[in-house]
Amino acid sequence: MKTGVWVQPKLNMKLINETKVFVNGTFDVLHYGHFKLLEFAASFGKLYVAIDSDERVKDKKGDSRPFHNVYERKEMLEALNYVSNVFIFDSDESLITLIRAINPDVYVIGSDYQNKPIVGRQYLKNIKFWPRQEKYSTTKIMNYGL
């Protein structure tokens, strides 16, 4: 059963006058490409990150994933000084609910999504594509030495 969006209580987006920037993804094994994407996103304003639940990662990437559970991934991202808040979502619907609640001014996603559907696109004002760093990949890291 899906649990919906896990949002921190008392987070009042209406009080934030800064540019709100939104990024979502798995962020399972953080690597240099992730750091550069997040740094790029944060250059536009206050950065909000949404991560896939463990169940969603397993559904998308297979039974061997995630490597780090959702709480470990959330804590690692929160440790980055340019990440303002991290949320967890478990379905397209809960991601859309989160996007609508945050109402980001800028949405950053990898360039590999330029010709693909983007969940919640109809609620996104300004989409910026980060050039995918082929050299850096969680799959490559996890398969290293096999």
Kindly report, residue by residue over 17-57, the tens digit of the pLDDT: 689 999 999 898 888 888 999 999 999 999 999 999 989 88
Q: pTM for the whole thing?
A: 0.80
Residue 77 CA to residue 82 CA, distance in Å, equals 9
Kindly report, residue by residue over 82-137, the tens digit of the pLDDT: 999 999 999 999 999 999 999 999 999 988 888 889 999 999 999 999 887 666 55
Q: Are 129 and 111 in contact (CB under 8 A)?
A: yes
Q: What is the DSSP string of 4-33?
A: --B--TT--GGG--SPEEEEEE---S--HH
To the nearest whole number, what is the mean pLDDT of the chain?
Answer: 84
